[in-house]
Amino acid sequence: MVIVRAEKPEDSEDRLAIRSIQEAAFGRRHEADLVDGLRSEGVVLVSLVAELDARIVGHILFSRMSIETASGCLPAAALAPMAVLPSHQRRGIGARLIRRGLALLRRRGERIVIVLGHPDYYPRFGFSSEKARDLQSPFPPGAFMAMELEAGALDGIRGRVGYPAAFGL
Ligand SMILES: CC(C)(COP(=O)(O)OP(=O)(O)OC[C@H]1O[C@@H](n2cnc3c(N)ncnc32)[C@H](O)[C@@H]1OP(=O)(O)O)[C@@H](O)C(=O)NCCC(=O)NCCS
């Protein structure tokens, strides 16, 4: 049975497992380094792991980002990075991580979530490139998506998105 739980703060076993899953899923160190960078910057909102038989097989992280509008800065949550061990993909583990993460953010009063990802995958959770159409970003429109955790949260919102420094954008 898959259990989704919060990453334990300052727990070296969790950190090592998260690093190895990110590296295995993406085939490079960049995303694992991004997780470390976001922790150091103190911008992690939610970091969840999926455990199967006491082994961590998936990880998702949401961090604090902003939308700079003409009338001020609006907080949003960035979904990135997310990874499931290649041997455990396509079993719904990624979906469990996303849904739990979104539920936690909603409960904490977050209103907007932004993701850069596969346009075939994220719309099933409520993300759309249409919702992100008035948000300026350095990314191509199709893969840059937003969702509202509260209906109408993006109504009339125009502006440039600001990512944590760890993203290096
Ligand atoms: C993306 C990822 C986290 C999804 O985790 P998962 O546990 O396999 O996802 P789920 O089982 O919930 O969903 C599976 C669905 O995801 C979609 N999907 C998974 N990987 C995909 C990919 N590389 N490209 C497009 N769609 C993908 C498929 O539509 C699949 O549905 P199907 O089984 O009906 O074909 C996982 O595939 C992964 O770690 N990939 C490598 C790292 C990555 O790309 N991270 C996300 C960056 S946006």
How far, in Å, CA of 28 to CA of 8, rounded? 24
Pair 4, 97: CB distance under 8 Å? yes
Say how many Å lie between the CA of residue 73 and the centre of ligand 1.
32
How far, in Å, CA of 98 to CA of 92, rounded? 10
pLDDT at 134: 97
pLDDT at 141: 83
Pair 118, 129: CB distance under 8 Å? no
Class of domain 2-167: alpha beta
pLDDT at 2: 96
Q: How far apart are the first and last CA of the chain?
A: 38
Beta strand segments in 70-168, E: 72-84, 112-116, 135-136, 144-148, 159-162
How far, in Å, CA of 109 to CA of 46, rounded? 13
How far, in Å, CA of 22 to CA of 82, rounded? 7
Shortest-distance atom of ligand 1 to CA 84: 39
Q: Where are the domains of the chain?
A: 2-167
pLDDT at 140: 87
**Does residue 120's CB lie within 6 angstroms of at least one atom of ligand 1?**
yes
Tell me which of 90, 115, 124 to substitute to probe ligand 1's pocket, judged by most ligand atoms within 8 Å of the beta carbon.
Answer: 90
Beta-carbon-side half-sphere exposure of residue 35 (alpha carbons within 13 Å): 24
**Does residue 89's CB lie within 6 angstroms of at least one atom of ligand 1?**
yes
Beta strand segments in 12-169, E: 44-52, 55-69, 72-84, 112-116, 135-136, 144-148, 159-162
The ranges of the chain with pLDDT < 70 are none
Pair 35, 19: CB distance under 8 Å? yes
Which residue puts its alpha carbon closest to atom 10 of ligand 1? 92
